[in-house]
Amino acid sequence: MKIRKSTLYLIGIVLLIVIVGFFFLSGESASANLIKENSGGEVQEVVIGMKNYNYYPNTIRVKAGMPVSIALDETVSGCFRDFTIREFGVHEYLRTPQDSVEFTPTKKGSYTFACSMGMGTGTLIVE
Amino acid sequence: MNFKEFVKSLSKEGVEGELLKTIFISLLTSFMILGIFYFFRLRDIENFIPKYGFFLFFGILSYALILPSIRQVRAYKEFPCMSGMMIGMTIGMIAGFLPGFFVGATNGMFWGSVFGMAIGIFLGVWNGKCCGVMGVMEGMMAGFMGGLMGAMTAIMMFNDNLKAAGIIVFAISAFIMIGLNFMIFKETRRAERKHKDRELFVSVLSFVLTILTILMIVYGPRSILLQ
């Protein structure tokens, strides 16, 4: 049986892609969801930074029924400073690290926080 | 002259018969270089494969996609204005977009777009000159736009499905490049072959592009947010 030259090349291409692809695509990326929460007195104070083009930490746990104050540190830049949590009606442009937005989560559950364009996102877990 | 005839021509002698061979040689050269780099240097980098493996792999596949068209264009050398403009635009755009996307995903918007624009404009102009100034201009503009758009898309996808977007972008680019190969095939049925590149040409080009991409993705300067 005579195999066409093009078929041989095609087999070679597929084999190369599969072998190298298996090697290079098998690794899972590491993700870090560290919780950083500073509670002081009656208000739960949370300071969020920025890492890998996203809010960091991007999973925050707070208690229901207690006021939460969120500030963005100096690493957060651009449109990421326009902070929103749609479910709680939070939408505030936090111009400096001293600016913060306060709200009281009343319902338990997971809520998404994001910048106004939705490019940076995270989860607020109300317990 | 339909697509079936084009597929048939891939197994014959001649310009189109060399397309699959070019992909094979390009992949072989690039993966060999990546393998050598990996065993001597890159494997010492912490989390190398999860961090860079995907982007390097698809970067190399992108070059294997672009090089056959370059060889095909160089074989016929001269094209009418409309075809030449399409060649310059397609090669410039894809050669700018894909490297821009993969470098942008690892190094940030600035270096992704600079690298994408450099590769896109260089290859766009080089291939666009098959029809003269119009093709050169088209290649230059497409490379400029593709490089910027590639890096920008990667950055905008960063917190979304970046890797899935990379695969979709690559698949669409592959269809476009196959379309370009078919268009060149259709437009050159009455033309004679004017130039024949040796396999070494493909190897050297793959070697240079792969080395540049590895250096840029792994050791290149980064945006402050990706450090």
Domain borders along chain A are 38-126
With beta carbons less than 8 A apart as the criterion, state whether B118 and B103 touch: no
Whether B227 has its CB under 8 Å from any CB of chain A: the answer is no
Residue B225: pLDDT band (50, 70, 90) is low
Residue type, B162: L
With beta carbons less than 8 A apart as the criterion, state whether A127 and A109 touch: no
Residues of A in contact with B27 (CB under 8 A): 13, 16-17
Residue A9: pLDDT band (50, 70, 90) is confident
Mean pLDDT over the full length of chain A: 81
Q: Alpha-carbon distance B87 to B136, whole Å?
A: 10
Inform me whether the pLDDT recorded for A1 exceeds 50. Answer: yes
Residues of B in contact with A30 (CB under 8 A): 47, 50
**Which architecture, in CATH terms, is A38-126?**
Sandwich (2.60)
**Is B37 domain-assigned?**
yes
Residues of A in contact with B23 (CB under 8 A): 9, 13
Inform me whether the pLDDT recorded for B112 exceeds 60. Answer: yes
**Is B110 domain-assigned?**
yes
Mean pLDDT over the full length of chain B: 91
Q: Domain range for residue B76? A: 15-226
**Is B160 domain-assigned?**
yes
**Is B151 domain-assigned?**
yes
**Is B217 domain-assigned?**
yes
**Is B216 domain-assigned?**
yes
Q: In angstroms, what separates the C-alpha of B21 from chain A's closest C-alpha?
A: 6
Inform me whether the pLDDT recorded for A112 exceeds 80. Answer: yes
The string of pLDDT tens digits covering residues B42-82 is 888 888 888 899 999 999 999 999 999 999 999 998 899 99
Minimum CA–CA partner of A14 in chain B: B24
Question: CB A21 to CB B57 under 8 A?
Answer: yes
Q: Which residue's structure tokens are 């994001």? A: A114
E strand or H helix at A21, and its extent? helix A5-25
* Maximum distance among all Cα pairs of chain B, rounded to whole angstroms: 55
Name A55's bridge partners.
A50
Q: Alpha-carbon distance B198 to B196, whole Å?
A: 6
Q: Which residue's structure tokens are 């070697």? A: B207
First to last CA, chain B: 53
With beta carbons less than 8 A apart as the criterion, state whether B81 and B132 touch: yes
Q: Sheet containing A82-85: give its strands across.
A: A59-62, A121-126, A109-115, A82-85, A90-93
The string of pLDDT tens digits covering residues A26-50 is 654 433 333 344 444 578 899 999 8
Cβ contacts of B212-216, under 8 Å, gap ≥ 24 = B212/B115, B212/B119, B213/B56, B213/B59, B213/B60, B213/B63, B213/B99, B213/B102, B213/B103, B214/B33, B214/B34, B214/B37, B214/B42, B214/B56, B216/B103, B216/B107, B216/B111, B216/B115
What is the count of structural domains for chain B?
Answer: 1
Question: B20, B28, B214: best mutation site toward chain A, by most A Cβ within 10 Å?
Answer: B20
Asked whether the CA dihedral B72, B75, B76, B81 is positive or negative, the reply is: positive
Residue type, A37: E
The string of pLDDT tens digits covering residues B200-222 is 999 999 999 999 999 999 998 87
Question: CB A16 to CB B31 under 8 A?
Answer: yes
Tokens of B74: 């160089």
Q: Alpha-carbon distance B12 to B9, whole Å?
A: 5
Name the phi and psi angles at A53, rounded to 5: 60, 30
